[in-house]
Amino acid sequence: MKKPLLQILALGCALAPFSLSAQNKVTETRDTLDKWVETRQIISEEKADWKVEQSILSDTITLLNNELERLNKSLEELEASATAADEDRSQLASQKDELTEAAGVVEANIGGLETQLKRIIKTFPQPLTDKIKPLIRRLPEDSANTELSLGERVQNIVGILSQADKFNTTITQTSESREIGDGRIVEVRTLYWGLAMAYYVDASGEYAGIGFPGTDGWEWPQDNEKGAEIKRLIDVYEGSEDISFVEVPARIN
């Protein structure tokens, strides 16, 4: 009985180191597996992070490319605008030179024009003169010494001539006071045929005559014999008589 027991004890002692070694290997294997799993998890997380970063990088590249394209387009537009601006600047400079030259010609001659216009104004009929009085007052007394700008002086001349042209292309009827041969003043109706001539007659048709521009103003000779015809002419114009042919005197300068 003692012998088998000893054999069992001996076997147990022999197996003890082997069991301990096996346990160590199992532990090492478990640690290795844990590290492998951990490593795989890290690799998986890195791959996932890289995919996210790759997507962000791709979107960033697309955004930067779009911005670069926009900037290039804006640069092209600015270059085109700069070219157009240079052309406009050159054209405006050319126009400025032309206008400056034209203004010089006008400035050199405007004094003579104002002098001539003052003489012409004396031949204007009174209704036209009354209408353009504000413009006449703005004509400089001394063309060589005036504070008016060139533009204002040109505007005055154009305004006067424009009104004169308008009066000359229309028939104007007015009521006026006129002195007759014996020095009396009578009320007459006057019909201006533009700037060429005029007809006047009193209410009775007794006093009548024609008018025409002279060197120092209008002249108004009487022609009482034609009073009835002149009265009828003005009545036709005013609409109080039927339209008909009326023979009246005329004067052509």
pLDDT value of position 72: 83
Q: What is the pLDDT of residue 251?
A: 79
The pLDDT score that the predictor gives to residue 243 is 87
Low-confidence ranges of the chain (pLDDT < 50): none
**pLDDT for position 53:** 66
Q: What is the pLDDT of residue 189?
A: 97
- pTM of whole model > 0.85? no
Q: State residue 102's pLDDT score.
A: 73
| HEC letters along the chain | CHHHHHHHHHHHHHHHHHHHHHHHHHHHHHHHHHHHHHHHHHHHHHHHHHHHHHHHHHHHHHHHHHHHHHHHHHHHHHHHHHHHHHHHHHHHHHHHHHHHHHHHHHHHHHHHHHHHHHHHHCCCCHHHHHHCHHHHHCCCCCCCCCCCCHHHHHHHHHHHHHHHHHHHCCEEEEEEEEECCCCCEEEEEEEEECCCEEEEEECCCCCEEEEEEECCEEECCECHHHHHHHHHHHHHHHCCCCCCCCCCCCCCC
- The ranges assigned to domains in the chain are 52-169, 171-238
Model confidence pLDDT, tens digit, residues 94-152: 777 777 777 777 778 888 899 999 999 999 999 999 999 999 999 998 888 888 888 89
